[in-house]
Amino acid sequence: MSLLYLCGSKIFMIQFILFGPPGSGKGTQAAKLAEKYDLYHISTGDLFRSETANKTTLGLKALEYMSQGQLVPDEITIGMLKNKISNLSEVSGFIYDGFPRTNPQAEALDCLLQESNQAIDLLLSLEVPEDEIVKRILNRGKTSGRPDDNDEAIIRKRIQVYLDETSIVFEHYAKLGKSRHINGIGTIEEIFERLCFELDQICK
Ligand code: ADP
């Protein structure tokens, strides 16, 4: 019995999207939030990198897109996410990091959640200016071992793809009153506190 999250006196399962452009700090913050709120952290980027490292058919296909700074096609991404979620039990909520990245992905996630009478509770979008993002990713590239973090042209392509294809997902959940902007500039702890403040609101 664990599909429920005890938050104050209320019990429910949290479905939370951490949103924002590449390099905005989603991965770092998601790991901290997952620990504090006992959420299962799903990063589609990490899932793809693990598939790639294991040289699976899916991983090799995904690599073709990732190395160019493009999105992996929805069909592959949605299939992988469904597969991951359906194999999980004993979790008290989810934090989605890097998913959904297109409107069809958002719709697929909504349908999947609906099957168990659930819905996204909150989307928090980390706001960081483009030049700061490029600086952060190039810096991360020195140690991340990610080829897509080492080439400024690929980084700028990823930001463009975010603006063209991903940023509209914010509106999808804003229409439902679920989306909020968060200032993504500051120390890791400062940004973490801003995110926690918003998450605490939905627990009240
Ligand atoms: P970042 O947020 O720094 O771009 P990620 O680890 O989230 O890093 O993603 C790395 C790459 O993996 C993306 O550029 C894209 O090619 C692929 N990817 C990750 N998540 C998705 C998704 N939801 N849909 C399509 N492609 C994805």
Task: Give the pLDDT band (50/70/90) at residue 147.
Answer: confident
Say whether pLDDT at 141 is over 90: yes
Given pLDDT bands bounded at 50, 70 and 90, which one contains residue 5?
very low
Question: Does residue 174 surpass a pLDDT of 60?
Answer: yes
88-137 residue pLDDT tens: 877 789 999 999 999 999 999 999 999 989 999 999 999 999 999 999 99
Instruction: Please indicate whether residue 26 is annotated as part of the active site.
Output: yes
Q: Residues 27-79: pLDDT tens digits? A: 999 999 999 999 999 999 999 999 999 999 999 999 999 999 999 999 999 99
Ligand 1 binding pocket includes 124 (Cβ within 6 Å): no
Domains and CATH numbers, the chain: 14-202 (3.40.50.300)
Residue 18's pLDDT band (boundaries 50, 70, 90)? very high
**For 21, which DSSP code?**
S
Catalytic residue among 135, 140, 156, 157: 140
Q: Is the pLDDT of residue 20 over 80?
A: yes
What's the pLDDT at 12? 63
**Rg of the chain (C-alpha set):** 16
Beta strands in the chain (DSSP E): 5-7, 10-12, 14-19, 40-43, 93-97, 122-127, 179-183
| Whether 153 contacts 160, CB under 8 Å | no
25 touches ligand 1 (CB under 6 Å):
no
Token readout for 179 is 């989306």
Mean pLDDT over residues 22-28, rounded?
Answer: 96
Amino acid, single-letter form, for residue 17: I
Rounded to the nearest 5 degrees, what angle is found at the Cα of 5, between the Cα atoms of 4 and 11? 80
Please tell me the distance between residue 147's alpha carbon and the centre of ligand 1 in angstroms: 13
Q: Which of 32, 84, 135, 146 is catalytic?
A: 146
pLDDT confidence tier of residue 9, bands split at 50, 70 and 90: very low
Q: Which residues of 100-127 are buried (b: 16+ CB within 10 A; e: fewer)?
A: bbbeebbebbbeebeeeebebbbbbbbe
Query: Is 49 among the residues known to form the active site?
Result: no
pLDDT at 10: 43
DSSP characters over 124-157: EEEE--HHHHHHHHHHHHHHH--GGGS-HHHHHH
pTM of this structure? 0.92
Atom of ligand 1 nearest to the CA of 20: 2
Mean pLDDT over 145-169 rounds to: 95
Does the active-site annotation cover 140?
yes
Amino acid at 90: E
9 alpha carbon to ligand 1 midpoint, in Å?
37
